[in-house]
Amino acid sequence: MEEGRIIEVNNLRVSFDEREVLKGVSFSVNQGEITVILGGSGSGKSTILKHLLGLFPVKSDIVSVFGSDLAEVDEDDLRFYKKLGVFYQNGALLNSLSVGENVALPLEQHTNLPAEIIEDMVRTKLNLVNLEDAFYLYPSQLSGGMLKRAALARAIIMDPPLLFCDEPGAGLDPVSLAGLDDLILKLRQQLGMTVLMVTHEVSSILRIADKILFVDNGIIAFDGSLEEARKSEMKALKDFFTVGTGGKR
């Protein structure tokens, strides 16, 4: 694996029953970058993400994360999984636990830190996502935007160097979405996180993306910087930016 590369995918092919969803996907993600996987509904974006997270089995020498071949990483390999933070589309907070307990959960389960330090860490992370007053609230008491921010606080509680975001902006109003983008940029800047994001939100992409991977028909049809993507003449990608920005590119 080349230096500075955090993720490397080589010829990832995935079929469900007879249907080939990914037809040989290859790309890499560099350290400190915000990489966005873009594509139409059903193009295979989330399938790529699930393979990178080890939620689907992969064959040897296909996916490498932090230099480890994902095929050889155990499901309970904490040293590997501690390096990953995952921010799910619907937040995926446990409804039976308060926000504070949700965010503290990975620390309580995977570290021997004293309770006071865990509480300090949780409050610090909630403060970072502007949710310091929600410590004792339950997920059902939060708005959509607050729920996303609480989920982000949980995703970064272990200070992971790599953050996966699965459609983080889905269902948010433009102001909350911009706030979430600012947060992700802040995390990248202050914690040096590498971010791999699956999203449809063009406004969000224009604000934060360094690199675009455009998935179309099961392949990476475009792999380049945001500037290159905006200037690209590829029709499907051009349509995305044109429609997503209301005709302005």
Which residue in 66, 81, 87, 135 binds other proteins (CB under 8 A)? Answer: 135
Tell me whether residue 113 or residue 178 sits nearer to other proteins (CB atom): 113
Tell me whether residue 110 or residue 249 sits nearer to other proteins (CB atom): 110
C-beta of 87: minimal distance to other proteins in Å?
17
Residue 78 identity: L
Residue 185 identity: L
Tell me whether residue 5 or residue 123 sits nearer to other proteins (CB atom): 123
Choose the stretch contacting other proteins; rule: CB under 8 A; options: 107-115, 205-213, 215-223, 225-233.
107-115
95: phi then psi, degrees, rounded to nearest 5: -65, -25
Tell me whether residue 34 or residue 99 sits nearer to other proteins (CB atom): 99
Which residue in 89, 111, 203, 245 binds other proteins (CB under 8 A)? Answer: 111
Residue 14 identity: V
The span from the CA of 99 to the CA of 67, in Å, is: 34
In angstroms, what CA-CA distances link 217 with 49, 200, 220?
16, 16, 8
Tell me whether residue 135 or residue 240 sits nearer to other proteins (CB atom): 135
Long-range contacts at 119-123 (CB < 8 A, ≥ 24 apart): 121/157, 122/153, 122/157
Which x/- pattern over 155-184 shows residues binding other proteins (rule: CB under 8 A)?
A: ---xx-------------------------
What is the total count of residues that contact other proteins (CB under 8 A)?
Answer: 28
The span from the CA of 205 to the CA of 80, in Å, is: 28
Closest CA to 117 of 128, 126, 127, 107: 107
Alpha helices, H only, 72-215: 78-81, 99-110, 115-128, 144-155, 174-191, 202-208
Residue 143 makes contact with other proteins by CB under 8 A: no
Residue 91 identity: G
Which of helix, strand or coil describes residue 93? coil
Which residue in 25, 126, 195, 208 binds other proteins (CB under 8 A)? Answer: 126
Residue 132 makes contact with other proteins by CB under 8 A: yes
Q: Which residues bind other proteins (CB under 8 A)?
A: 82, 94-96, 107, 111-114, 116-117, 120-121, 123-128, 132-133, 135-136, 139-140, 158-159, 190
